[in-house]
């Protein structure tokens, strides 16, 4: 996956997160994209979504965010 330069800049801010952060999302309303970062053992795994997707959180068993229903 190739990320825009601004996206790479935003990501670099998140590499210094506190140790107890297991999941974080970067939502870009202009590009209608969502990047979900989930801590898998010692490394963050990244999954890209669009505003047409329903996204399940990795840390809460029954929590889904349906971006089609949000007015962003």
- State the residue for tokens 């997160």: 17
How far apart CA 24 and CA 19 sit, in angstroms, is 12
Q: What is the mean pLDDT of the chain?
A: 81
How far apart CA 69 and CA 72 sit, in angstroms, is 9
Domain ranges for the chain, please list them. Answer: 5-69
Percent of the chain with pLDDT over 70: 72
The answer on pLDDT for 1 being more than 50 is: no
Q: What is the mean pLDDT of residues 44-63?
A: 92
How far apart CA 41 and CA 33 sit, in angstroms, is 25
Which of 15-19, 36-40, 61-65 is predicted most confidently?
Answer: 61-65
Q: What is 1-17 written as a DSSP string? A: ----HHHHHHHHHHTT-
pTM, whole model, 2 decimals? 0.70
| pLDDT (0 to 100) of residue 63 | 95
């Amino acid at each position: 996956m190739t990320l825009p330069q601004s996206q790479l800049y935003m990501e670099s801010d998140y590499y210094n997160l506190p140790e107890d952060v297991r999941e974080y999302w970067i939502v870009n309303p202009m590009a209608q994209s969502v990047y979900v970062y989930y801590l898998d053992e010692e490394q963050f795994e990244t999954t890209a979504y669009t505003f047409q997707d329903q996204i399940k959180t990795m840390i809460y068993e029954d929590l889904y965010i349906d971006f089609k229903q949000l007015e962003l």
